[in-house]
Amino acid sequence: MTEAYTLAGELHKASCNYKAAFAAYEAELKLFLHEKQKAASKMVTFFAAESYMSIILVRLGINLASIPLFTKLLLGNTVKDNYKLKHYG
């Protein structure tokens, strides 16, 4: 959603000049997306289960993550975004 909102805003701001909009979009989100990808790479082993027991633990973790308290305990700030959306109005 963040990426779509930002791209739409940059396209609007650049009067649909897509080259300028894409450059502004990349400049705006590059650091944010880099941090998200870095956090995701730390979780690869969780989602790439190699044994039956690991698959059971992954499913348990996913089910527990649907409960906000457990999400905070299990994942900490890895799912929290501190990105502030620009106002394109």
Please tell me the pTM assigned to this model.
Answer: 0.63
> Hey, is 33 helix, strand or coil?
helix
Rounded CA-CA distance 40/78 in Å is 8
Boundaries of every domain in the chain: 1-41, 43-80
pLDDT per residue rounded down to tens, the chain (89 residues): 899 999 999 999 999 899 999 999 999 999 999 988 887 887 777 777 788 988 898 888 788 878 888 777 767 766 667 788 999 98
> How far apart, in whole angstroms, are the C-alpha atoms of residue 64 and residue 12?
40
